[in-house]
Amino acid sequence: MRFLTRSLLALFLAALSAAALGYAGYTLVTAIQSRSEAPGGPGPGREREFTVRVMTVTADEVTPVLSAFGEVRTRRSLDLRAPVGGRVLEVAQGFEDGAEVVEGQLLFRIDPSDAESALAIARSDMARAEAELRDAVRALVLAGEDVAAAQAQLDLRERALARRTDLAQRGVSTEAALEEAELALSSARQSVVGRRQAEAQAEARRDQAQTALERQQISVSEAERRLADTRVYASFDGTLADLSITEGGLVNSNEQLGRIIDPQALEVSVRVSTAQYLRLIDEAGQLRSTEAEVALEVAGFEITSPGRLVRASATVEQGQSGRRLFVDLMAPRGFRPGDFVTVRLQEPALSGVALLPATAVNAAGNVLAINDSNRLEAIPVTVLRRQGESVIVEVAGIAGREIAREISPMLGSGILVRPQRETATGEVLLEDPEMVTLDAERRARLIAQVEGNTGMPEPVRARMLAQLSEDQVPAAMIERLENGGGGRAQSGG
Residue that terminates a domain, selected from 212, 238, 255: 212
Residue 354 in any domain: the answer is yes
pTM of the model: 0.58
317 burial type by CB count under 10 A (0-12 exposed, 13-18 middle, 19+ buried): exposed
Mean pLDDT over residues 336-341, rounded?
A: 90
Residue 487 predicted with pLDDT over 60: no
- The set of long-range contacts for 222-229, using a CB threshold of 8 Å and a minimum separation of 24, is 222/122, 223/115, 223/118, 223/119, 223/121, 223/122, 223/123, 224/119, 226/83, 226/84, 226/115, 226/118, 226/119, 227/112, 227/115, 227/116, 227/118, 227/119, 229/83, 229/84, 229/110, 229/115
Among candidate residues 185, 212, 239, the one where a domain is terminated: 212
Given this model, what pLDDT does residue 1 score? 59
Residues 391 and 463 occupy one common structural domain: no
Question: Which of 135-139, 150-154, 305-309, 340-344 is the least confident region?
Answer: 150-154
Q: Is 411 found in the same domain as 484? A: no
**What is the distance between the alpha carbons of residues 268 and 149, in angstroms, rounded to a whole number?**
82
410 and 438 housed in the same domain: no
Q: Are 119 and 185 in contact (CB under 8 A)?
A: no
Is residue 254, in this structure, part of any structural domain at all?
A: no
Q: Which amino acid would we find at residue 127?
A: A
333 within some domain: no
Q: What pLDDT shows up at residue 215?
A: 93
SS3 readout for the chain: CHHHHHHHHHHHHHHHHHHHHHHHHHHHHHHHHHHHHCCCCCCCCCCCCEEEEEEECCCEEECCEEEEEEEEEECCEEEEECCCCEEEEEECCCCCCCCEECCCCEEEEECCHHHHHHHHHHHHHHHHHHHHHHHHHHHHHHHHHHHHHHHHHHHHHHHHHHHHHHHHHHCCCCHHHHHHHHHHHHHHHHHHHHHHHHHHHHHHHHHHHHHHHHHHHHHHHHHHHHHHCCEEECCCCEEEECCCCCCCCEECCCCEEEEEECCCCEEEEEEECHHHHHCCECCCCCECCCEEEEEEEECCEEEEEEEEEEEECCCCCCCCCCEEEEEEECCCCCCCCCCEEEEEEECCCEEEEEEEEHHHCCCCCEEEEECCCCEEEEEECCEEEEECCEEEEECCCCCCCEEECCCCCCCCCCCEEEEECECCCCCECCCCCCEEECCHHHHHHHHHHHHCCCCCCHHHHHHHHHHHCCCEEEHHHHHHHHCCCHHHHHHCC
Quick one: 471 and 405 in the same domain? no
CATH assignment of the domain containing 399: 2.40.420.20
* 261-278: pLDDT as tens digits: 888 889 999 999 888 888
Q: Are residues 133 and 202 in the same domain?
A: yes
In a domain, 8, yes or no: no
For the chain, how many structural domains are there in total? Answer: 3
- Tell which wins on pLDDT, 284 or 222: 222
Mean pLDDT of the chain: 82
Quick check: 218 pLDDT over 90?
yes
Q: What is the mean pLDDT of residues 132-143?
A: 89
Does some domain include residue 241?
no
For residue 110, tell me if it sits in a domain.
no
* Whether residue 41 has pLDDT greater than 70: no
Residues 183 and 206 in one domain: yes
Average of per-residue pLDDT across 201-211: 90
Neighbours of 78 (CB within 10 A): 14
pLDDT, position 318: 80
Per-residue pLDDT of 429-440, as tens digits, reads 555 566 777 787
Same-domain status, 135 and 203: yes
Instruction: Return the sign of the alpha-carbon dihedral for residues 56, 59, 63, 67.
Output: positive
The parent domain of residue 149 ranges over 116-212
Mean pLDDT, residues 85-114: 87
- Regarding whether 365 and 403 lie in a shared domain, the answer is yes
Provide the pLDDT for residue 176: 75
Please tell me the number of Cα atoms within 13 Å of 270 on its side-chain side.
30
Contact 354, 393 (CB under 8 A): yes
Q: Is 71 within the bounds of a domain?
A: no
Percent of the chain residues past pLDDT 90, beyond the cut: 13
45 or 13, which is more confident: 13
pLDDT computed for residue 91 by the predictor: 87
- Please compute the mean of the pLDDT values over residues 411-426 and round it to a whole number: 74
Do 370 and 397 have their domain in common? yes
pLDDT above 60 (res 37)? no
pLDDT at residue number 389? 86
Residue 252 lies in a domain: no
Q: Report the C-alpha gap between 380 and 398 in whole angstroms.
A: 9
What is the rounded distance in angstroms from the CA atom of residue 314 to the CA atom of residue 267?
17
Q: Given 389, 420, 451, which residue is the final one in a domain?
A: 420
| Residue 306: per-residue pLDDT | 92
Same domain membership, residue 205 and residue 130: yes
Q: Is the pLDDT of residue 42 over 70?
A: no
Residue 490 has pLDDT above 50, yes or no: no
Residues 130 and 160 in one domain: yes
pLDDT reported for residue 34:
58
